[in-house]
């Protein structure tokens, strides 16, 4: 960006130095001033657009991600369930033998996060795989504050985690919001008290068909969590913690009920419904909050001044 500006500005300075006519020179100076401010504004806009966001998917392969599917060992991407195609992560079951057989799966990003803002787009496509539970129709999700997949047992179905659930409409006239909260092996505090429901519905509208939906998740450690769908906040809750039921056949040493979840892994879900994910990116909200440091950022909300560089 700097070399681009310098080349244009350098050209105009050379042209100005060779101008004899004063009126022409004043016109050129005016154009030059406008150009300087335009380029400055463009630079600032470009920086703001990219400020702190990190792509979680390289568009070509699943490097940096780890698969865990029920009945299989960690890292076994059975049936090519998760695929990097067309600059998307696709979840498919066309290579499965027989019925679905509870082969619930998750694709984990290899870096855990605590305070973050995550953004992605998803679309629910195709038909439910044969032999699937009825509740999984047009149903998928994003897990966060999850246990490490390497701590999951081979026959464990769901990771101990919190889920931002993604649903699509099934029947016209029947509301089926998306961006809900579900809690495999966890609890959350909703409206001032622990909510014992496995899933807490959001206030989003119902989305039908295979349209793209933008989902954002803002998490402040073990305090506040916000779900955002297509730019609108649809759900908020606090104090995610280990507890509740639903998760099965886990290592009992992992499930310490009442323990607040301040960080964990992020995973895309597969539970027999094909789905596509794209534009998966994250902004870490934890970092150096000393304004004197080189890596200070205004968007940080949680200080980690041990990471400061000067």
Tell me what the mean pLDDT of segment 40-56 comes to: 59
pLDDT of 300 over the 70 cut: yes
Q: Express each pLDDT in 198-253 by its tens digit.
A: 999 999 999 999 999 999 999 999 999 999 999 999 999 999 999 999 999 999 99
pLDDT at site 51: 86
pLDDT of 133 over the 60 cut: yes
What is this structure's pTM? 0.83
| CATH architecture of the domain covering 54-284 | Sandwich (2.60)
Q: Express each pLDDT in 20-40 by its tens digit.
A: 555 554 455 444 444 444 444
Q: Express each pLDDT in 60-85 by its tens digit.
A: 999 999 999 999 999 999 999 999 99
pLDDT of 100 over the 50 cut: yes
Q: What CA–CA distance (Å, rounded) separates 128 from 274?
A: 7
C-alpha dist (Å) from residue 150 to 62, 74, 76: 17, 6, 12
Task: Identify which has the larger pLDDT, 153 or 11.
Answer: 153
Count of positions (residues) in the chain: 310
pLDDT of 155 over the 80 cut: yes
pLDDT at site 41: 44
pLDDT at site 105: 97
Quick one: pLDDT band at residue 13, thresholds 50, 70, 90?
very low
Helix (H) or strand (E) holding 280: strand 275-284
Structural domain spans, the chain: 1-50, 54-284
């Amino acid at each position: 960006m700097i070399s681009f500006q310098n080349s244009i500005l350098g050209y105009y300075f050379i042209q100005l130095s060779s101008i004899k006519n004063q009126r022409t020179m004043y016109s050129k100076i005016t154009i030059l001033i406008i150009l300087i401010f335009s380029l400055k504004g463009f630079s600032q806009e470009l920086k703001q657009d990219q400020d702190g966001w990190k792509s979680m998917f390289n568009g070509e392969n699943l490097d940096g991600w780890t698969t865990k599917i029920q009945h299989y060992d960690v890292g076994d991407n059975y049936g090519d369930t998760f695929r990097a195609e067309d600059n998307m992560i696709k979840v498919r079951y066309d290579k499965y033998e027989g019925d679905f057989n509870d082969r619930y799966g998750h694709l984990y990003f290899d870096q855990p996060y605590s305070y973050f803002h995550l953004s992605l787009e998803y679309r629910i496509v195709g038909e439910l795989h044969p032999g699937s539970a009825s509740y999984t129709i047009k149903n998928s999700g994003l897990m966060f504050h999850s246990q490490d997949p390497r701590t999951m047992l081979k026959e464990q179905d769901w990771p101990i985690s919190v889920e931002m659930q993604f649903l699509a409409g099934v029947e016209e006239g029947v509301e089926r919001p998306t961006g809900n909260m579900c809690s495999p092996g966890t609890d959350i505090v909703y409206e001032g008290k622990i909510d014992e429901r496995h899933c807490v519905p959001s206030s989003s509208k119902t989305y039908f068909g295979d349209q793209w939906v933008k989902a954002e998740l803002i998490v402040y450690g073990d305090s506040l969590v916000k779900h955002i769908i297509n730019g609108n906040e649809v759900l908020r809750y606090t104090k995610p913690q280990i507890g509740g039921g639903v998760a099965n056949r886990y290592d009992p040493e992992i499930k310490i009920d009442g323990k607040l979840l301040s960080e964990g892994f992020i995973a895309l879900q597969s539970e027999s419904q094909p789905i596509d994910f794209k534009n998966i990116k994250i902004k870490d909200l934890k970092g150096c909050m000393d304004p004197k440091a080189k890596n200070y950022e205004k968007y940080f909300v949680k200080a980690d001044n041990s990471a400061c560089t000067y």
